[in-house]
Amino acid sequence: MEKLRITEIFYSLQGESTLSGIPTVFIRLTGCPLRCDYCDTAYAFTGGVKKNISEIINEVNRYGARHVTVTGGEPLAQSACLPLMTALLDLDYVVSLETSGAIDVSAVDPRVIKVIDLKTPSSGELNKNLYQNINYLSKIDQVKFVIGNHEDYEWSKQIVAKYSLATKCEILFSPVQLTQNPTELADKILADRLPVRFQIQLHKYLWQDARGK
């Protein structure tokens, strides 16, 4: 039976994406091939506990929530992430996947809400973006740009235009906390009339950097 290495499973409010504010069970998988400069989950790079899919689902069921987010680390770095998400969908959960976009998403169940985090210049991992993943986006999916400075903003604008992202999916612009002033970013979005959704990480305002929140 396939097993996944799990850092934590917890119940909280979704802090990002178009599902922000919805009570959600989070499954945080261990491990990530990227090392973004602004990463806030480095504790998930190593360690964790191996669990099979039935054990994970039993734990998710205990919370009684309808929404599940599979995150990391980079969840797609573990191949068993794919059958896990399909099993959850078959149980009528609403499943979202938070992925860096550095790993092929073509095999992800089309019912999954993919939130692909295209890496901006300030991440230090710009060259890891797998742009062919854009071909597998649907209207339920989202592309997120984490913006730390003006260079990131201008680069993100160019990518949105180059790939006509507004015709494919929802677009999210999110400021790096303590690095990019959120008001300045909001003003730029309005001034440039961008077809994007501005978002702030809700959980960081409610619980700061507490784990399991």
Distance CA 20, CA 115 (A): 12
Q: What is the average per-residue pLDDT within 183-206?
A: 89
pLDDT of residue 50: 97
pLDDT of residue 202: 76
Instruction: Give, to the nearest 10 degrees, the angle between helix 53-61 and helix 81-90.
Output: 40
Higher per-residue confidence, 32 vs 212:
32
pLDDT of residue 105: 98
Q: What is the average per-residue pLDDT within 136-153?
A: 97
Using an 8 Å Cβ cutoff, are 115 and 97 in contact? yes
Q: Percentage helix, strand, coil, to 5, in the chain?
A: 30, 25, 45
Residue 213 binned pLDDT confidence (cut-offs 50, 70, 90): low
pLDDT of residue 12: 93
Please tell me the pTM assigned to this model: 0.92
Tokens read off for 193: 């009339």
Residue 116: phi and psi, rounded to 5, are -95, 120
Residue 141 binned pLDDT confidence (cut-offs 50, 70, 90): very high
pLDDT of residue 205: 63
* Structural domains in the chain plus CATH codes: 3-207 (3.20.20.70)
Residue type, 87: A
Q: Would the pLDDT of 32 be above 70?
A: yes
